[in-house]
Amino acid sequence: MDSKQKSSQKNKISYQEFGNASSSEAFERATPELPPQQQNIRVQASRSGRKGKTVTVITGFQTKPETLAQLLKQLKSQCGSGGTLKDDTLEIQGDHRQKVVQVLSELGYKVKISGG
């Protein structure tokens, strides 16, 4: 066998159930992009599983991950602290419930503080 035959054998697909495997559109998660007025956002302070550190947890978003990343960056700068994005949930370090509610309300979201 010469090198052309070897490389063509490596690229052969013996079985493929759905469409083109290189098409990532089929594997992307379908997330409805709702306007801010139609989203019900919950803000709560949590300490469980964080070794006693308080974290402001923001849930209920129904937007694309890119939009959430942009919103997280804006909230972190407004609160002056760090944060992260985990499974469509924003986490801001520290107890910033009032500030987060104020900022999200100004952006047009329906926001409620939940928990104690």
Q: Measure the CA angle with vertex 76, ends 110 and 105; round to 5°.
A: 20
Model pLDDT, residue 8: 52
Give the homologous superfamily in CATH for domain 32-113. SUI1-like domain (3.30.780.10)
Give residue 74's pLDDT: 95
- Three-state DSSP class for 45? strand
Query: CA triplet 98, 101, 107: central angle to 5 degrees?
Result: 145
Q: Give the model's pLDDT for residue 81.
A: 96
pTM of the model: 0.72
Beta strands in 1-116 (DSSP E): 40-46, 55-59, 83-86, 89-93, 110-113
Mean pLDDT by 10 residues, the chain (116 residues): 56 68 56 82 92 94 92 95 93 95 94 88
Residue 96: its pLDDT value, please?
A: 95
Q: Look up residue 37 and give its DSSP letter.
A: G
pLDDT on residue 108: 93
Domain boundaries, the chain: 32-113
Per-residue DSSP letters for 85-97?
Answer: EETTEEEEEB--H
